[in-house]
Amino acid sequence: MATPARLDAIDKFRGCAILLMVLADYLADVNRAPAWLKHAPDVGYTVTDLIAPLFVVAIGLTYGLSFRRRLARDGARKTYEHAIVRNLALIGLGFLMTVGGNLLGVYPSTINWGLLQALGAAGLLTLLVIRLPAGWRAGVGLGLLAIYQARLDCCWLDAVRSAPQNGPWGALSWGALLILATVLADWYHDPARRWRWAPWASLAMLLAGLAASLVIPVSKARASASYILISLGLSALIFLGFHVLGERGLRAPLLSAWGRNPLLLYVLHGVLLGVFALPPIPGWYVEAPLWLAGLQATALVVALSWIAWWLDKRQWYIAL
């Protein structure tokens, strides 16, 4: 059973991920923002390319805990029904957001796919194997990643690169990432294995990704196997850093507040982005100077932070 201290470390880690995601989404269309604060257009790796994996790993840290707790309380049928409905709801909400974004011009792609759809699809894939032992799950995750990479090299490359969040094809790769994250999470939540297994397994994933990069290009735009393994290793090591800092007295209540309402804040940030993206004023957003972009990004974060703080103070948490 996870202790409150460990759950708070997960909240802080998740809050950091969603906060960075908000900033990255804002900066994506600001032309004067430096390239290292945007996604690599194809092959390459930037700071921003790590943000989505951070969030997927945060989901993996609680996926198994939540499933097993509900399984013990409600039984198998209700537990699976809840998980299926939850992930389908994520996909549906994602469709609504991307349709709205397409109509408003915020998301110009004609392919109705985005982060929430990818998360929902990954969640459904993980549901198929979540009751397997960790070792078997690791084998499934790595096997799924190998199958995806083979299909990518064979015939999916153009479709995946041109689709937002790698399209439905990329869900296989993101699903592999979530499955592997649940394996690391199981070892982390087991006190006997936490420091004997989790750090070394995380480092092994990072090194495996770096080795794979010698033959497989590292690319978020492709959700390539090397990208997934590197991101998994880095994300897990960063989380363990949050855990260590928490044990040493790190207090970051605002990050925790962000982490307890991630879905609501993500949806709200999409709405607030329209304040900057929609007005047809030259120099207001896309061509904004850096000082104005900084002010707007600060205003966006402050507004969402106040909402997160206000909801957390009242212990109102919105989740599917």
Token couple for 238: 């960063």
Please give the pLDDT value at position 80: 97
Query: CA 83, CA 119: separation in Å to the nearest integer?
Result: 13
Query: CA 64, CA 282: separation in Å to the nearest integer?
Result: 49
pLDDT at 108 over 70: no
Token couple for 188: 């982390």
CB atoms within 10 A of CB 34: 10
**What percentage of the chain reaches a pLDDT higher than 90?**
79
Boundary residue ending a domain (194, 217, 247): 247
Tell me, yes or no, whether 235 and 301 share the same domain. no
Boundary residue ending a domain (247, 268, 287): 247
216 within a domain of the structure (yes/no): yes
Token couple for 255: 């990050």
Determine the straight-line distance between the first and last CA of the chain, rounded to whole angstroms: 22
Please give the backbone phi and psi of residue 251, each rounded to the nearest 5 degrees, phi first. Answer: -120, 115
- DSSP code for 38: S
32-76: per-residue pLDDT in tens? 999 999 999 999 999 999 999 999 999 999 999 999 999 999 999
Chain-wide mean pLDDT for the chain?
A: 91
151 within a domain of the structure (yes/no): yes
pTM above 0.85, yes or no: yes
Show the domain range for 285. 12-38+253-320
Mean pLDDT of 197-215: 96
Boundary residue ending a domain (226, 247, 268): 247
5 within a domain of the structure (yes/no): no
Identity of the highest mean pLDDT range in 99-108, 136-145, 194-203: 136-145
Q: How many domains does the chain have?
A: 2
Tell me, yes or no, whether 216 and 144 share the same domain. yes
317 within a domain of the structure (yes/no): yes
288 within a domain of the structure (yes/no): yes
Tokens 């096997």 — which residue? 143
Task: Calculate ∠ Cα 178-210-21, nearest 5°.
Answer: 45
Tell me, yes or no, whether 95 and 154 share the same domain. yes
170-198: per-residue pLDDT in tens? 999 999 999 999 999 999 999 888 888 89
Please give the pLDDT value at position 275: 86
Please give the pLDDT value at position 6: 53
Please give the pLDDT value at position 279: 85
